[in-house]
Amino acid sequence: MDKHQHKDPAEKLSELGYRMTPQRMMILNAVHNATDHISAEEIYSQVRGQYSHLNLSTVYRTLELLKNLKLVTESDFGEGKVRYHSAEKGHHHHLVCQKCGDVNDVNEAVFTSLTDKLSGDYNFTADLRHLTIFGQCAKCNK
Amino acid sequence: MDKHQHKDPAEKLSELGYRMTPQRMMILNAVHNATDHISAEEIYSQVRGQYSHLNLSTVYRTLELLKNLKLVTESDFGEGKVRYHSAEKGHHHHLVCQKCGDVNDVNEAVFTSLTDKLSGDYNFTADLRHLTIFGQCAKCNK
DNA sequence: TTTGCTATTGCCAACATTTGCAAGCAGCGT
DNA sequence: ACGCTGCTTGCAAATGTTGGCAATAGCAAA
Ligand SMILES: [Mn+2]
Ligand SMILES: [Mn+2]
Ligand SMILES: [Zn+2]
Ligand SMILES: [Zn+2]
């Protein structure tokens, strides 16, 4: 059994008055089973395979909800559409290279000095989930 | 005269093979004269007052160009549209409160420890212009 | 000037995402 | 079982932004 068992999503939803519908379940699974960051359109066509009645708006609305519940995170790598990631896969941020397009993960620990400073100097509690930083990567810096 | 005179935009453009057209001039002025962060649509209707032939696509394309030349910066405060800011008004980032919607400026010095760390640990040269950080502001933290 | 090259524009259609609305469904009290 | 209420969905339309394309305008060489 998983010692770090989080509250299961259905429970988390109903606690706040929401319902765990088949659509939401399937969308959540799609994000969870994705090997990489997945887009709304990709989720849509994947889930549509088993439930052809699904509407794209429902995908967007569900992702918005899951994002607010911190079950998924959203990232914009500048490709004109946004991508999603299961929150269970740990917190991290992204470095996107503006030259070669490479995307790399950064541990969120790198940001603690920043959030501490924002908290100390501005009394601002930063909500830094899945931040995307643009710049030039190691390879392109050579 | 201005001791810190930057190269004038027209010069900067032509150096790179671009042209300073009336449209570009008017759009640049609109961003420059704005007291606050201005949206594409706002620029459009403002410039249209003096030049009714202008097309919205031109506004977007011009802003994209000016952004690449670092004459303007772009920020997304999460209102569903993006806003622009003249680069001459100094570098800074933004703290957006998720509770009250308040937007505050942060000096970019707050981010030097972060960029240093990204440079040292990842050899990644971060391009942090006009970053937007979401969270909870001082007022809402009380 | 005239010509030629290419950057730029307007127009329109596509795209990613959000919204309004009316129908459907779950839960709850009667 | 019935009806109320509020959550959820599909559908279609709207929104903000980008892209293709053909016509035009700016610039420089001839
Ligand atoms: Mn990620
Ligand atoms: Mn600004
Ligand atoms: Zn790179
Ligand atoms: Zn606030």
Which ligand is closest to the CA of B73, given by its number? 2
Nucleotides of D under 7 A from a protein CB: 6-13, 15-20, 25-27
* For residues B45-72, average pLDDT: 96
Question: Distance from A11 to chain B by nearest Cα, in Å?
Answer: 25
Distance in angstroms (rounded) separating the CA atoms of residues A17 and A6 = 19
Q: Looking at the domain assignment, is residue A3 inside a domain?
A: no
Q: Looking at the domain assignment, is residue A33 inside a domain?
A: yes
Distance in angstroms (rounded) separating the CA atoms of residues B74 and A100 = 22
CATH of the domain at A64: 1.10.10.10
Pair (B73, B108) in one structural domain: no
Q: Which nucleotide has its C1' atom closest to residue B80's CA?
A: D16
CATH of the domain at B106: 3.30.1490.190
pLDDT digits (tens, 9 = 90+) for A86-140: 998 888 899 999 888 889 999 989 999 999 999 999 999 999 878 999 999 999 9
Pair (B82, B101) in one structural domain: no
Q: Looking at the domain assignment, is residue A142 inside a domain?
A: no
Residue listed under structure tokens 């949206």:
B39
Question: Distance from A121 to chain B by nearest Cα, in Å?
Answer: 9
pLDDT at residue number A1: 45
Q: Of B91, B79, B72, whose CA–CA distance to B33 is shortest? A: B72
Whether the CB-CB separation of A128 and A108 falls below 8 Å is answered with yes
Pair (A60, A99) in one structural domain: no
The confidence band for B89, taking pLDDT boundaries of 50, 70 and 90, is: confident
Distance in angstroms (rounded) separating the CA atoms of residues B5 and A69 = 49
Q: Looking at the domain assignment, is residue B50 inside a domain?
A: yes
Pair (A17, A44) in one structural domain: yes
Pair (A85, A125) in one structural domain: no
CA–C1' span, B24 to C10, in Å? 15
Say if residue A3's pLDDT is above 60: no
Pair (B84, B55) in one structural domain: yes
Tally of structural domains, chain B: 2
A13-28 b/e (C-beta count within 10 Å ≥ 16 → b): beeeeeeeeebbebbb
Pair (A85, A34) in one structural domain: yes
Q: Looking at the domain assignment, is residue A83 inside a domain?
A: yes
Q: What's the predicted TM-score (pTM) here?
A: 0.90
Pair (B74, B20) in one structural domain: yes
Pair (B85, B23) in one structural domain: yes
Pair (B47, B103) in one structural domain: no
Q: What does the block give as tokens for A117? A: 């400073």
pLDDT at residue number A114: 95
pLDDT digits (tens, 9 = 90+) for A49-73: 999 999 999 999 999 999 999 999 9
Pair (A81, A111) in one structural domain: no
Say if residue B90's pLDDT is above 70: yes
Pair (A49, A103) in one structural domain: no
CA–C1' span, B12 to C3, in Å? 28
How far apart are the CA of A55 and the centre of ligand 1, in A?
25
Residue A69 has what DSSP assignment?
A: T
Q: Where in the sequence is the domain holding B108, given as residue range(s)?
A: 93-135
